[in-house]
């Protein structure tokens, strides 16, 4: 969940590293630091707070060098502080390390090192690793090389890591290694970058190599070598060209990445669908799963596993796949599924959903399922990600990078993939061509629908301006729109810090109704479908208790107008496309409420974008 960037080459590394940290700040922003080597001298500066805090310190210093490492942190062990910030130095102040992940046995290793006279300055698990490397490098009887000391240290620790290490005794060398936390090597003209993802690299080169687990890369003299950590076996890997533009990772005219990404949905959903429809036959074409489609059709059960927003997408996917294919679908939090004795065999399909393709719990769930013989499918947004490489097959969303911590366009793209998958299965299992065509037509109209929703932003803003002081919100929906309520509540919690809960509307009477008074806004998801009379009855119940009613619907009538304090009308669409369009409204509402409360929208407190540690 932290951001790592390093550089070695002919250019001044300081501006490259600082700009890289700004690109990576969505991964963590409670502290940042930089370490450089210049003329056999290691310099390090680090500061609690955002990258801008570090920049202000660097502006007043004379730090410089020809290679360096940098880090922006999301705290796991030790509170955010100057001391706990990365890079961490060894006792001799000759080795610097940045680390993303968790060293699970750091306590035991720390005690051993303390007995050897090594003292510690921070409360982090990461410092243990740099001190261990130093002890092995400088004091082992075998007189290990710097690289071999790193290998030996990594074989003593348990956990997940992406690390980059430099040493003033090896001034022209950078070493990085990965086990469970992503690292990307950028290969330029006489220069190299290593980062947690491609965003800091794209400005310098589009040629990258994605490191796999148990791999170490050593860079020296304008050359690099990749090998296995444990065996030293050389690994030959081909360069991948990243398809990413600078414009995609910048805000442009928007005040926040989240607002930009909400607006991106005018085309990102269509980008995900492009080339995947067969309108004449009322079905979809999903090439990424074509080789395994017969296995999916014959499966006895399907599990969808994910975390956070992607889990909500999975709940909607369950409704759709079961309705269209009549196969039982179980939706599991990856963090629970990986530890549960689930019923899995070689006739089971696991669908893993992750925006980043690096989510630690989801990866662990995939690996467990594969061990038990299941077929694994990935739905993710990042080509080259670990989930994309470790699943048997998969379907990419094509939304471009999502920088805002609160997921928006990635969520609607995931829903789009799940709709297309459900339809493809359904057409093979008796769903009529006409029914398929109707759904496809609705999906093909979605750009216009999203544009229409963005045009009512002033109405959404007025709702926010009248409710932003509320301490609690309740979101209610029925059927396929219950998970939409969950997602709407999550968005509000993430960026505005207002407590919010999503519930099935019928369950309101089983507890939440006790909370409703004149200070409680209640958001009703009320499409004019078969569930509408029941939703209307729920609205009546809230009205009787003086709750503030915010209704999202696709058709206004007198009853809704009289009962609702605020009504947001969105375009009429297919009932299985409505969750997508409704989610855009909920994203806008959460955004406007966060603006009213003057919150850090793109970097909400305590959160990071990519959860790569358990």
DSSP annotation of 481 reads: G
DSSP annotation of 234 reads: B
Rounded (10°) angle between helices 409-428 and 308-325: 20
Residue 609 annotated to the active site: yes
Q: Where are the beta strands (DSSP E) in 434-565?
A: 472-477, 499-504, 521-525, 548-553
From 50, 260, 424, 609, the catalytic residue: 609
CB atoms within 10 A of CB 316: 29
Q: CA-to-CA distance for 243 and 531, rounded, in angstroms?
A: 43
Q: Please report where in the chains the tokens 């398809």 appear, as a residue.
A: 243
Q: Would you mind telling me the total number of residues written for the chain in this entry?
A: 614
Tokens of 368: 């467990």
Tokens of 293: 């489609």
From 2, 167, 307, 380, the catalytic residue: 2
Host H or E run for residue 227: strand 223-228
Q: CA-to-CA distance for 614 and 612, rounded, in angstroms?
A: 7
Tokens of 1: 């969940």
Report whether 520 contacts 500 (CB < 8 A): no
Residue 491 annotated to the active site: no
For the chain, how many helices (H) and strands (E)? 19, 26
Report whether 28 contacts 217 (CB < 8 A): no
**Residue 355, φ and ψ in degrees, nearest 5:** -60, -50
Identify the three-state secondary structure at position 181.
coil
Tokens of 248: 């995609």
Single out the residue of 581, 577, 576 nearest to residue 568, CA to CA. Answer: 581
Ramachandran category for residue 89: left, alpha or beta (phi over 0 → left; psi -120 to 50 → alpha): beta
DSSP annotation of 556 reads: -
Spatial neighbors of 515 by CB under 8 A, at least 6 apart, are 472, 474
First-residue to last-residue Cα distance in the chain: 10
Residues serving a catalytic function are 2, 609
């Amino acid at each position: 969940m932290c951001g790592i960037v390093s550089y070695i080459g002919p250019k001044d590394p300081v501006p490259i590293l600082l700009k890289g940290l700004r690109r990576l700040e969505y991964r963590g922003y409670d502290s940042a630091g930089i370490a450089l080597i210049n003329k056999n001298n290691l310099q390090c500066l680090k500061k609690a707070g955002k990258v801008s805090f570090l920049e202000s310190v660097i502006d007043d210093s004379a730090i410089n060098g020809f290679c360096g490492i940098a880090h922006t942190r999301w705290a796991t062990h030790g509170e955010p502080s100057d001391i706990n910030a990365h890079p961490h130095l060894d006792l001799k102040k000759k080795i610097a390390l940045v680390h993303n992940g968790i060293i699970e046995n750091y306590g035991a290793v720390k005690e051993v090192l303390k007995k050897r006279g090594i003292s510690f300055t921070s409360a982090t698990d990461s410092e243990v690793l740099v001190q261990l490397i130093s002890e092995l490098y400088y004091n082992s009887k075998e007189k290990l090389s710097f690289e071999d000391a790193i290998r030996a240290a990594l074989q003593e620790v348990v956990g997940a890591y992406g690390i980059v290490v430099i040493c003033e005794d090896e001034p022209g060398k950078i070493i990085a290694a990965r086990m469970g936390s992503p690292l990307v090597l950028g290969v330029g003209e006489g220069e190299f970058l290593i980062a947690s993802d491609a965003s800091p690299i794209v400005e310098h080169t589009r040629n990258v190599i994605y490191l796999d687990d148990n791999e170490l890369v050593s860079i020296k003299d304008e050359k690099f070598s990749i090998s296995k950590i444990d065996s030293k076996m050389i690994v030959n890997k081909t360069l991948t060209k990243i398809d990413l533009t600078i414009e995609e990772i910048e805000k442009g005219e928007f005040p926040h990445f989240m607002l930009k990404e909400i607006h991106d949905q005018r085309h990102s959903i269509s980008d995900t669908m492009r080339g995947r429809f067969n309108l004449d036959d009322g079905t979809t074409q999903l090439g990424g799963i074509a080789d395994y489609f017969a296995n999916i059709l014959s499966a006895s059960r399907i599990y969808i596993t994910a975390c956070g927003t992607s889990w909500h997408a999975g709940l909607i996917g369950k409704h759709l796949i079961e309705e269209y294919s009549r196969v039982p679908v179980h939706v599991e939090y990856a963090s629970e599924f990986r530890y549960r004795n689930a019923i899995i065999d070689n006739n089971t399909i696991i669908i893993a959903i992750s925006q980043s393709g690096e989510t630690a719990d989801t990866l662990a769930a995939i690996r467990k399922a594969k061990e038990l013989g299941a077929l694994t499918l990935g739905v993710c947004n990042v080509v080259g990600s670990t989930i994309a490489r470790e699943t048997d097959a998969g379907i990419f969303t094509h939304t471009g990078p999502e920088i805002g911590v609160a997921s928006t366009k990635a969520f609607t793209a995931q829903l789009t993939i799940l709709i297309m998958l459900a339809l493809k299965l359904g057409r093979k299992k008796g769903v009529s061509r006409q029914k398929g065509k109707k759904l496809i037509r609705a999906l093909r109209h979605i750009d216009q629908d999203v544009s229409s929703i963005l045009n009512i932003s002033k109405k959404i803003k007025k709702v926010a301006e009248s409710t932003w002081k509320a301490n609690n919100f309740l979101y209610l929906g029925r059927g396929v729109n219950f998970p939409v309520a969950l997602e709407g509540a999550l968005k509000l919690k993430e960026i505005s810090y207002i407590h919010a809960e999503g519930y099935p509307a019928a369950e309101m009477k089983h507890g939440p109704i006790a909370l409703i008074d004149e200070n409680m806004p209640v958001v009703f998801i009320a499409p004019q479908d078969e569930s509408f009379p029941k939703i209307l009855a729920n609205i009546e119940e809230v009205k009787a208790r003086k709750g503030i009613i915010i209704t999202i619907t696709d058709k206004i009538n007198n009853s809704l107008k009289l009962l609702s304090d605020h009504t947001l009308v969105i375009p009429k669409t297919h009932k299985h496309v409505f969750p997508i369009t409704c989610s855009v409204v909920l994203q806008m509402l959460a955004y406007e409420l966060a603006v009213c409360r003057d919150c850090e929208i793109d970097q909400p407190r305590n959160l990071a974008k990519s959860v790569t540690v358990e």
